A = this chain, B = another copy of it.
C-alpha cells in the first residue's frame, strides 16, 4: 500500500462517556506523530462541524492538555446526533463533505461513536470511493451501552459499569441503615440492551447489590414483578433493592415508564398523583403493594460522565483504540472500526482487531439469554466473568483545589 499523504480529521458523535476523550487523545497523539499527516483537525460537534467547516487545529494544543483528555469525561470537541441521508436519495451532505475534504486536503477521517456513527463512516467511505476521492475512513468505537456488534466490549462501558456497581454498593449500605422496611429501585440507562443495568450485579457479586434485576432483553410483566418483589421483601425483613433498565417494556411493547401516564390518574394515599420514569413508576407500584417506604433512584447523566470513578482498563483501551485507528489507516486500512477481542483463557487480555464498518452499522448486541438467570431477574456467573475484568484499575483526573482538573483545549479554528 502506498503512503497516503494528507490531513486528518477526527470527530466525536453520540452520547458522552467517560472515555470518549481518551480515544480522542489516542487519535491525536498518534496522528500528530505521523509524517504523512501534516495537519490534524478536530471537528466541532462531529460530522456537523465538517459540514459547517468548523474545526480546530489540534497541532495548536498543548500536549499536556491532550494528556488530560484521558481523564476528562464527555466530548471535548462537542458531539452531535446527526444521521446522514441515504446518498442515493439525497447526496447534498456528501457533496459538501467532499468539498470540505478537498479544500483542506483531508485524507484521513476518524469517527468516534456507536452504531449510528459507524453507519455514518460507512456511508462517507462508500461515497468517497464512488467519486474517486482517495480517503481512509476508520471508526473508533464508543458507547456506554456496550451494544456494538463485532467487538467483545465497547470503550465507555467499563467505566460506566464501575461507577454503577460502586454506587450501587454504596446505596445498598445506605438503604439498610434502619431496621425498618425500605425498598429502593435503581434506574439505569439502556433502551434496548441491558449491559449497564447488568453491571449492578457486580455489586451483588460483592454481597451488596440488588436482589432483583430486570433488563430490556426480556418482556417485563408487572404481576410477576410484584410477586417476585413481595417474596424477597418478606424473606429479607422488608429490605429490597431492585435494578431496572430505563427501557424495560411489557409484552405488547409498551414502555413501563409510560405506565406513569395511567398511574397519574390514580392517586396515592396522600392524594398525590404518581408519575415519572421507570423507577418512579415501579416504586409507586411497590409502595402500593408492600405498604412501605420506597425510593426511586436514577443514575441519570452521572453514570456516563463519572470520570472520577473510571476504569483504568477502559481508559487505556480507549486510548489504544484511538492510536490504532491512526496506525491502521496510515498502513493502508480503511472502512473498518477498531474492535476488541478477548484472548481465551482465565486471564483477561484484550487484543485489537479490525471490524468491517458494515458489520457494526445499525446492528445492536444484546445480552445472551443464558447470561440471564432462568427467572429473568438476575445475571449468571457468565456475565460476572465477562464484566469484572472491564472495571479493573482506577482512573481519575488529577485534582486541584480538591476537585477534578479537566482539560481546557484552546480550540483554535483551522477554518476561515
Contact = CB atoms under 8 A, between A and B. Distances in A.
Interface of A: 15-16, 44-45, 48, 72-75, 78-81, 162, 165-167, 169-171, 173-179, 184, 202-203, 205-206, 208, 260-261, 264, 271-276, 280, 295, 297-302, 304-309, 311, 388, 391-394, 399, 401-404, 406
Contacts of A274: 275
A273 B261 contact: yes
A6 B74 CA distance: 57
A356 B245 CA distance: 50
B177 A78 contact: yes
A286 to B, nearest CB: 16
B170 A73 contact: yes
Number of copies: 2
Contacts of A272: 260-261, 264, 275
Contacts of A297: 298, 300-302
A56 B402 CA distance: 37
A325 to B, nearest CB: 21
Given A79-B177, A170-B305, A297-B300, A402 B406 contact: no
Contacts of A276: 275-276, 280
19 contacts: A74-B173, A74-B176, A78-B177, A78-B179, A79-B177, A80-B178, A166-B308, A169-B406, A170-B301, A173-B406, A174-B301, A202-B403, A206-B401, A264-B264, A295-B300, A295-B301, A302-B302, A388-B401, A393-B402
Given A178-B45, A403-B166, A406-B208, A173 B308 contact: no
Given A81-B178, A178-B80, A73 B173 contact: yes
A404 B309 CA distance: 11
Given A16-B173, A275-B276, A79 B178 contact: yes
Nearest to A80: B178
B403 A206 contact: yes
A171 B299 CA distance: 12
B399 A302 contact: no
A230 B392 CA distance: 44
B388 A174 contact: no
Given A73-B174, A170-B306, 13 more contacts: A44-B179, A48-B179, A78-B176, A80-B178, A80-B179, A166-B404, A170-B301, A170-B305, A264-B272, A273-B275, A275-B275, A298-B300, A391-B403
Contact of A75 (B177, B275, B311): B177
A166 B45 CA distance: 25
A307 B280 CA distance: 26
B388 A72 contact: no
A11 B389 CA distance: 39
Contact of A174 (B74, B162, B273): B74
Nearest to A163: B308
Contacts of A169: 403-404, 406
Nearest to A74: B173
B48 A175 contact: no
A45 to B, nearest CB: 5
Contact of A167 (B48, B175, B306, B406): B306
A332 B113 CA distance: 66
A41 to B, nearest CB: 17
A73 B162 CA distance: 17
- Could you say which of A167, A272, A301 has the most chain B C-beta atoms within 10 Å of its C-beta? A301
Contact of A178 (B78, B203, B205, B392): B78
Contacts of A391: 402-403
A73 to B, nearest CB: 5
Contact of A171 (B184, B271, B298, B305): B305
Nearest to A162: B402
A305 B308 CA distance: 15
A45 B179 contact: yes
Contacts of A406: 169, 173, 208
